[in-house]
Amino acid sequence: MKKVNYWEVKRKIEMLRKLAASNAPPSRHLPLIKSVLHGVRISAITIKNDVLYRSRWNKGTDLYMHTNELRYPDSSAVDKEGRLNDIGESILYAAACELGTIIESRPDINKLFTISSIKPLNPEIYYYPLGITDKDYYNHEISAAEKIVIEYLNTEITKSIDTVEDYFSTIALSKFFLKTKIKDLNSTGCIAYPSAEGSKISNKTTYNFAIAPEVFDKHFVITGATVYCLTNEEAHYQLNSLNEVTEIDKTGNLSWLYSHDKMINRISQGLTLDGTYCENIKCLVQ
């Protein structure tokens, strides 16, 4: 492999930063990203935690009744840019634990949301560690050029967003990584990246994941779901679980421990999933 020139990589990264500062569209970033990453080793990884979590807001107090409602959105419904998706581009966003997906969704007080659990059908599926600086994710000594590339990816993917134009550079990174062949696998389209919302980007428990729809359909399955709400108690916030899926049939239909009516009745009595009393959840049905 041809040795990557540190100063050439550094110059191109500075050009990418200028493109981002000028709000250049993703199409302007992409050729330069390809040039920067040419010859730079970005290891594909597997993850030790084989369960991912995804959060969705409920429509009022309605329950989701099929796994299709908990997966990635239809592309026609994607009407705004996200950290890794353009308008009309569907991506499934997930996190390494329930806490991670709660941090990302920033739940409102006294509003229902559902967290689904997702498992890969093949535990050896590969992810690109986009901007993850933890040395455990690299099986070789990192060169100076590779180090500044990893640091660039980290600062871009975790940057604060003020306007939708700030997403243009991260969308371009997604277009590259979700469509680049990983090793000898026929399937691609999985990214692992640090949480921009978490206070510590090195916290592995809040790492996020982005998965292309066609890869999700082929390699992942939803295995469970729980309904939650966040309440504001006297001295703290409290996360309350209210219902959970007990069975998912072969066609993806969800069976809940409590029917919608029974769940509403329990909430009206201040009862959580395990029977704990919480006065503040009553307002959900009042």
What's the CA dihedral at 45, 51, 54, 55 to 10 degrees? -140
Q: Are strands 128-129 and 190-193 parallel, antiparallel or unpaired?
A: parallel
Q: Is the pLDDT of residue 221 over 90?
A: yes
Query: What is the CA 190 to chain-centroid distance, rounded?
Result: 10
Of all helices (H) and strands (E), which one includes residue 264? helix 260-268
Give the model's confidence band at 282: pLDDT under 50 very low, under 70 low, under 90 confident, else very high: very high
Closest alpha carbon to 32 in 149, 194, 127, 128: 149
Q: Is the pLDDT of residue 196 over 70?
A: yes
Residue ranges per domain, the chain?
6-45+124-183, 52-123+218-284
List, in sequence order, every residue forming a beta bridge with 116; answer none if it has no partner. Answer: 54, 225
The tally of CA atoms less than 13 A away on the side-chain side of residue 96 is 18
Give the mean pLDDT of 63-88: 95
Distance separating alpha carbons of residues 45 and 25, to the nearest angstrom = 29
pLDDT, greater one: 200 or 219: 219
92-95 sheet: strands from edge to edge: 128-129, 190-193, 208-211, 92-95, 52-57, 113-120, 220-232, 237-248, 254-256
Distances (CA, A) of 13 to 7, 33, 89, 158, 234: 10, 8, 26, 16, 49
pLDDT of residue 204: 64
Give the model's confidence band at 95: pLDDT under 50 very low, under 70 low, under 90 confident, else very high: very high
Distance separating alpha carbons of residues 64 and 53, to the nearest angstrom = 16
Asked if 58 contacts 112 with a C-beta cutoff of 8 angstroms, the reply is: yes
Which residue has tokens 């989701």?
A: 64
Q: By three-state DSSP, how is residue 222 classified?
A: strand
Averaged pLDDT score across all residues of the chain: 88
pLDDT for 123-164, tens place per residue? 777 788 888 877 766 666 788 888 899 899 989 998 888 999
Closest alpha carbon to 244 in 119, 118, 115, 120: 115
Q: Is the pLDDT of residue 201 over 60?
A: no
Length of the chain counted residue by residue: 286
CB atoms within 10 A of CB 150: 20
Give the mean pLDDT of 92-107: 86
pLDDT of residue 111: 93
